[in-house]
């Protein structure tokens, strides 16, 4: 069911408490190295400001674990947000308290206030009632646009949504629309491309996708645990030994599932885990003992690309190889381009996957790039996200 959003309510002359995901990466000097997450919230923030709301914005940043950590203050975020909005941002030094209450009471339409890092207060992650109430007192309406935190049962996500009239922001709406669209009624053929380093991160999604998608193309470091479980020698390739039996079971049962699961025919192997390592292409069943697989090979690229071309819906998570290094990026680059060239619905997610899409300049070619790593995976695993469940459904 679609959620009630900011488009379904009148926000003029209201104070709106907006939960966003401004958990941006910072370098050692505290500079923001990628402001994608701030930009992703702008449609919602602009929408509210244009309609005469005043905003109390809140986010977490990093993992301060319930204490004030100077390097994780929201100052740099406030600066960038102000630039992007083109309006001053009043930055609070506390999350809640008298000063914050006074500042929010004084807000005029069009003004923007940013709270200090939510996770400086241990009551955020414990979903403390009084903390949620203190947040709720800052505004008339609650808007959740923090899809990246929607899988967390935290005060700013779930607690406050029960205390104020609550609606979804435009980013959260779009995320849920595209991701639930994949689960509900995807146009077929539906091809999923899964890669990345660890199969432990992706096992539940593989399990779910076996009954959802038509073709499951597998690459990245996680293929080697699957191959080893199947008795194939993988040399020194990445493997998660403790998952061998579970992976073996999933593979043994895969024949009876909807999806046809595909593994690479050929592999680019290296003699060391280094950018300048010697490399060669070998058959997937012929990995030499002292070598390790770091990318999918050209035959696999060809076969996967053809299947991708035939799809009407595509979901991609996880690079096909160590795309950070020139000698092992071909698989990821080629698959990214093959997906980009498809005319259907194309959805991607995952931090490194997004980095790869950006590296090849293909952002604009995707229907939707999910900003929520853990949240998008949990949604695709079929779990209900507490931050989404707590929001009221749209009325028709």
> Which residues belong to the annotated binding site?
21-23, 37, 60-63, 119, 152, 202, 293, 324, 350-353
Q: Which of 275, 288, 351, 382 binds Mg ion (CB under 5 A)?
A: 351
Task: Decide if residue 321 touches ligand ADP (CB under 6 A).
Answer: yes
**Closer to ligand ADP by Cβ: residue 169 or 321:** 321
Q: b vs e for 94-105, b when ≥16 Cβ sit within 10 Å of the residue's Cβ?
A: ebbeeebeebbe
* Contact predicate 48/107, CB 8 Å: no
**Closer to Mg ion by Cβ: residue 283 or 351:** 351
Q: Which stretch binds ligand ADP (CB under 6 A): 16-24, 46-54, 131-139, 347-355?
A: 347-355
Q: Which of 139, 143, 243, 294 binds ligand ADP (CB under 6 A)?
A: 294
Lookup: tokens for 193: 């491309």
Q: Which of 23, 317, 371, 376 binds ligand ADP (CB under 6 A)?
A: 317
* Residues in contact with 86: Cβ distance below 8 Å, sequence separation at least 6, in sequence order: none
Catalytic center residues: 37, 198, 351, 374
User: Peptide bond before 327: cis, by omega within 30 degrees of 0?
Assistant: no
Rounded Cα gap, residues 149 and 117, in angstroms: 14
Report how far Cα 152 is from the mean position of its chain's Cα atoms: 13
Task: Decide if residue 361 touches ligand ADP (CB under 6 A).
Answer: no
Lookup: tokens for 312: 């009407």
> Mask: binding to Mg ion, 352-371, rule CB under 5 A, as x and -?
x-------------------
Instruction: Name the nearest CA neighbour of 254 among 284, 209, 201, 220.
Output: 209
**Closer to ligand ADP by Cβ: residue 272 or 324:** 324
Task: Decide if residue 342 touches ligand ADP (CB under 6 A).
Answer: no
**Structural element, H or E, at residue 281:** strand 279-283
293 binds, among ligand ADP, Mg ion, none (CB under 5 to 8 A by kind): ligand ADP
Which residue of the chain is nearest Mg ion when measured via CB?
Answer: 352
The DSSP symbol for 4 reads: P
**Closer to ligand ADP by Cβ: residue 89 or 320:** 320
């Amino acid at each position: 069911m679609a959620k009630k959003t900011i488009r379904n309510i009148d926000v003029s002359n209201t104070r709106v408490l907006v939960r966003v995901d401004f958990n941006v990466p910072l370098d050692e000097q505290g500079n923001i190295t990628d402001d994608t997450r701030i930009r992703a919230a702008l449609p919602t923030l602009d929408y509210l400001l244009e309609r005469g709301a005043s905003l109390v914005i809140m986010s977490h940043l990093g993992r301060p674990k319930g204490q004030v950590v100077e390097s994780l203050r929201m100052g740099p975020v406030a600066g960038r947000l102000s630039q992007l909005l083109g309006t001053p941002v009043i930055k609070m030094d506390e999350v809640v308290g008298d000063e914050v209450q006074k500042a929010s009471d004084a807000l005029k339409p069009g003004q923007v206030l940013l709270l200090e890092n939510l996770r400086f207060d241990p009551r955020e992650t414990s979903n403390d009632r009084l903390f949620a109430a203190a947040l709720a007192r800052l505004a008339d309406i609650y808007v959740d646009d923090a899809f990246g935190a929607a899988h967390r049962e935290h005060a700013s996500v779930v607690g406050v949504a029960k205390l104020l009239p609550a609606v979804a922001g435009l980013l959260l709406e779009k995320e849920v629309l595209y991701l639930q669209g994949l689960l509900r009624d995807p146009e077929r053929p539906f091809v999923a491309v899964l890669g990345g380093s660890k199969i432990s991160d992706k096992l539940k999604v593989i399990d779910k996708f076996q009954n959802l998608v038509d073709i499951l193309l597998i690459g990245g470091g996680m293929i080697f645990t699957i191959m080893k479980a199947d008795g194939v020698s993988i040399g020194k390739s990445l493997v998660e030994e403790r998952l061998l039996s579970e992976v073996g079971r999933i593979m043994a049962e895969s024949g009876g599932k909807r999806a046809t699961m595909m593994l690479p025919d050929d592999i680019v192997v290296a003699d060391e885990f280094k950018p300048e390592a010697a490399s060669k292409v070998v058959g997937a069943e012929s990995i030499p003992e002292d070598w390790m697989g770091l990318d999918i090979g050209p035959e696999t690229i060809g076969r996967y690309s053809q299947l991708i071309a035939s799809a009407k819906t595509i979901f991609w998570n996880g690079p096909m190889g160590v795309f950070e290094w020139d000698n092992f990026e071909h698989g990821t680059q080629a698959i990214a381009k093959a997906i980009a060239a498809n005319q259907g619905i194309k959805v991607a997610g995952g931090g490194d996957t997004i980095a790869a899409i950006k590296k090849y300049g293909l952002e604009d070619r995707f229907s939707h790039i999910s900003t929520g790593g853990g949240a998008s995976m949990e949604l695709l695993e079929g779990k209900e996200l507490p931050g989404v469940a707590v929001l009221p459904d749209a009325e028709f």
